[in-house]
Amino acid sequence: GDSVTQMEGPVTLSEEAFLTINCTYTATGYPSLFWYVQYPGEGLQLLLKATKADDKGSNKGFEATYRKETTSFHLEKGSVQVSDSAVYFCALRSDYKLSFGAGTTVTVRA
Amino acid sequence: DGGITQSPKYLFRKEGQNVTLSCEQNLNHDAMYWYRQDPGQGLRLIYYSQIVNDFQKGDIAEGYSVSREKKESFPLTVTSAQKNPTAFYLCASIGNSMTSGGYTFGSGTRLTVV
């Protein structure tokens, strides 16, 4: 079945560092892809999405490009802030359901 | 604004009690989901419902029950048969398969057994 494999954490960075979180997927067809962010004690919020190959989703300085040839959707941010400390989940949509990666905990130190 | 409301935010349960977590959405979404999240862990699917009066078990349905009598509401009951219910519970919904959007999540309910 459809699945998502996400880079394991935790990841610890200094402010203004470059962040990459790898995400690859296995799916039939061409699913929509998502990144969600979860701050402590809260639900998940949609960070960005891409619905077809070569689409680039972007939001709050984060970017991810839908790469069909490598079945990947890596999340990147050029200069992280302390406020970016959170858990990040990669996900794909199949029909009505989303399949999630295990989540990557990111801590940004001042 | 449209969204999903989960209540209560914190819930305490005594051993042997059933408790019900509320989830209401005003997004006119067809499908709704319940996930469990343990500390430092990912999401595990408990139950989901694609239409009113119908629902399916997810990966960890044992000890839980749900109902879907209205499109807007999908309450989750944690029964006394659930041996380790302390966790963070998340409700989500999604539009129909003709859309490309993802889930909208509620803010979660943290359940603690005392």
DSSP line for chain A: --EEEE----EEEETT--EEE-EEEE-SS--EEEEEEE-TTS-EEEEEEE-STT-EEEETTEEEE-BTTTTB--EEESS--GGG-EEEEEEEEETTEEEE---EEEEEE-
CB contact A59 to B (< 8 Å): no
Closest to B22 measured CA to CA, from B73, B84, B96: B73
Taking only residues 53 to 112 of chain B, the set having a beta carbon closer than 8 angstroms to any beta carbon of chain A reads 90, 92, 94, 96-97, 100-108, 110
Which pLDDT score is estimated for A8? 84
User: Mean pLDDT across the stretch A68-95?
Assistant: 95
Which pLDDT score is estimated for B97? 60
B97 contact residues in A (CB cutoff 8 A):
95-96
Residue A98 is nearest to which of B40, B50, B103, comparing CB atoms? B103
CB contact A97 to B (< 8 Å): yes
- pLDDT in tens for each of the 114 residues of chain B? 679 999 999 999 898 899 999 999 999 999 999 999 998 888 999 999 999 999 999 999 999 999 999 999 999 999 998 889 999 999 999 986 666 678 899 999 999 998
- Structure confidence at residue A53 as a pLDDT band (50, 70, 90): very high
Q: Do B103 and A95 touch (CB under 8 A)?
A: no
Chains A and B form CB pairs within 8 A to the count of 61
Per the CB < 8 A criterion, the answer to whether A42 and B108 are in contact is: yes
Which pLDDT score is estimated for B67? 98
Q: Return d(Cα A70, Cα A51) in angstroms, integer.
A: 16
Q: Which residue has the higher pLDDT, A95 or A87?
A: A87
Q: Do B42 and A42 touch (CB under 8 A)?
A: no
Residue B90 is nearest to which of A43, A51, A91, comparing CB atoms? A43
Which pLDDT score is estimated for B110? 96
Which pLDDT score is estimated for B39? 84
> Tell me, what DSSP letter sits at residue B73?
B
Determine whether B23 is exposed, middle or buried from the number of CB atoms within 10 Å of its CB (0-12, 13-18, 19+): buried
HSE (side-chain half, CA atoms, 13 Å) at B75: 13
Which pLDDT score is estimated for B43? 92
Which pLDDT score is estimated for B15? 86
Q: Return d(Cα A23, Cα A6) in angstroms, integer.
A: 4
Q: Which residue has the higher pLDDT, A70 or B102?
A: A70
